[in-house]
Chains A and B, each alone.
Chain A
Amino acid sequence: MKKCYFDHVATNPLHPEVLDAMMPYFREEFGNPLSVYEYGVTAKNAIEEARGKVAGLINSKPSEIIFTSSGAEANNFALRGIAIARQNDGKHLIVSRVEHHSVLNSARFLEKSGFTVTYIPVDKKGFVDPDTVRKAITKETILISVTHASSEVGTIEPLKDIVKVARERNITVHSDAVATTGNIPVDIKDLGVDLLSMAAHQFYGPKGAGGIYIRQGLRIAPLIYGGIQESGRRAGTENVPAIVGMGKAAEMAGAEMQSRIEYLRPLRDRIIDAMSGIKNVYLTGGDKENRLPGHASFCVEFIEGEAMLLLLASKGIFSASGSACSSKALKASPVLLSMGIPSGLAQGSIVFSLGTGNTPEDIDYLLNEFQLVIKRLREISPYAQGWGDKEGGA
């Protein structure tokens, strides 16, 4: 059976050249980077080379990059580390409602630890309004955390305008850029953020490697205590092969970014255009200009996302419904609900996220099968036949 993977926001396949770069560090170059002899020096040099490549991807200094185990760790580090380091300046944080669980649950943890958090709503396309952020600021506010783009609805947030608001009041700004780094241009000097999270597997690097940009001079309390790895800011023997892989993937993403974007956008637009022709199917998130280049997300009225997923999977088409967490819990996505989408409609969420391995033929196959799946499920849906409470569109 044909297999088409359309869930690249969940993870990406490892690029073969990235794997090649990593292999020596699984085998002969197994040294601990802290060791002073040859093995250690080789491993340390490999990490520093990778750091330079990741810094190059986001236009930072290499010393401003700290490697972590994942984007989730980077998000935890940012929120908890800044909250602790700046608690004498204030104990109020602002985060958007469309954040990843690693941001939202860190914020909730801080709420239990004596901090207060304002959760900023988004508009119906998933945008955070900088003016709403401004109004939420109090004299106690120390940190604003807004994602660069939601992996669930693909909306690219107006980060620069949010940073401007924060600068008026000496507030630290963090952005979860896991969905964007390596996929669209991310320039920290242009964005102006103080902290930025990223994950290698989102740009054809390995799982187990993430990173955080920490602006030079910014104080942040460690999340993991121990030795002096990562300039004494993140303890634990480094995952050298994964870090090397992240560096290689960053180098390739930087070099190929424009061509990857130009390849993905027309494929994505074919899905969006075709779906707009189906009755009661609504595009969720930003319009074509303000969404991730390979991201197409919809709410399909009268049917459930899980049912669509399973039927598509039986045809070898792999996609997602909402975030991985809410999908597993069979709950309506909090991100979609925060955009004002009624819960019944939000249950019919489906996300196709494309990668460079997808071909125009894959899109033909998807569009054909998806329309059949919608037709079949609506035929057996009591809601489609007028049962229950019908809810309005997005």
Chain B
Amino acid sequence: MKFVENIKPDVTTDIVYMMCPMHLLKLEEQMKELGQGQILEIMTDYDGALEDIPEWCGKTGNEFLGMEDSGDFFKFYIKKMAR
């Protein structure tokens, strides 16, 4: 897993305590709204996202920048690449 710090996101989505697979549904929904090259921050407490989000990025051609573990939840950073 790639860890990052101090990334400035363009959009933040807080889905802490929302159940699986909201992390994938919200990710897809938010990415549609983003412009090319913009960065999404997604905050979740669901540990399945550790695997799912990088994999989703690989499949869809978006760039997984990395994650930050804030103790109670994770922050994932995704850069929109695919149109």
Residues of A within 8 A of B (CB): 81, 85, 88, 217, 219-222, 225-228, 231-233, 235
Contact = CB atoms under 8 A, between A and B. Distances in A.
Give the interface SS of chain B, mostly helix, strand, loop or mixed.
Answer: loop
11 contacts: A85-B16, A88-B72, A219-B16, A227-B19, A228-B20, A228-B22, A231-B18, A232-B15, A233-B17, A233-B18, A235-B19
Nearest to B21: A228
A139 to B, nearest CB: 20
B52 interface: no
A226 B18 CA distance: 10
B9 to A, nearest CB: 16
Contacts of B17: 81, 85, 219-222, 233
Contacts of A232: 15, 18-20, 22, 25
Contacts of A231: 18, 22
A303 to B, nearest CB: 51
Nearest to A217: B14
A221 B72 CA distance: 13
Interface of B: 14-22, 25, 72
Contacts of A217: 14
Contacts, number: 32
Contacts of B18: 231-233
A305 to B, nearest CB: 43
B19 A225 contact: yes
Contacts of A225: 19
Given A88-B72, A232-B18, 14 more contacts: A85-B16, A221-B17, A222-B17, A222-B19, A226-B19, A228-B20, A228-B21, A228-B25, A231-B18, A231-B22, A232-B22, A232-B25, A233-B17, A235-B19
Q: Which 6 A-B pairs have the closest CB atoms?
A: A232-B22, A232-B18, A232-B19, A221-B17, A219-B16, A219-B17
Contacts of B22: 228, 231-232
Contacts of A85: 16-17
A221 B21 CA distance: 15
Nearest to B73: A219
Contacts of A88: 72
A98 B82 CA distance: 56
B69 to A, nearest CB: 15
Contacts of B14: 217, 219
A233 B16 CA distance: 10
A200 to B, nearest CB: 24
A217 B14 CA distance: 7
A14 B58 CA distance: 52
Contacts of A81: 17
A219 B21 CA distance: 17
Contacts of B19: 222, 225-228, 232-233, 235
A82 B79 CA distance: 32
Contacts of A220: 17
Nearest to A235: B19
A219 B13 CA distance: 12
Nearest to A233: B18
B17 to A, nearest CB: 5
Interface centre among B14, B15, B17, B72 (most CB of A within 10 A): B17
A220 to B, nearest CB: 6
A1 to B, nearest CB: 52
A221 to B, nearest CB: 5
A221 B19 CA distance: 9
A235 B19 CA distance: 8
Contacts of B20: 228, 232
B32 to A, nearest CB: 17
A360 to B, nearest CB: 51
A141 B31 CA distance: 37
Contacts of A235: 19
A220 B21 CA distance: 17
A234 to B, nearest CB: 9
B48 to A, nearest CB: 13
Nearest to B18: A232
Nearest to A231: B18
B46 to A, nearest CB: 9
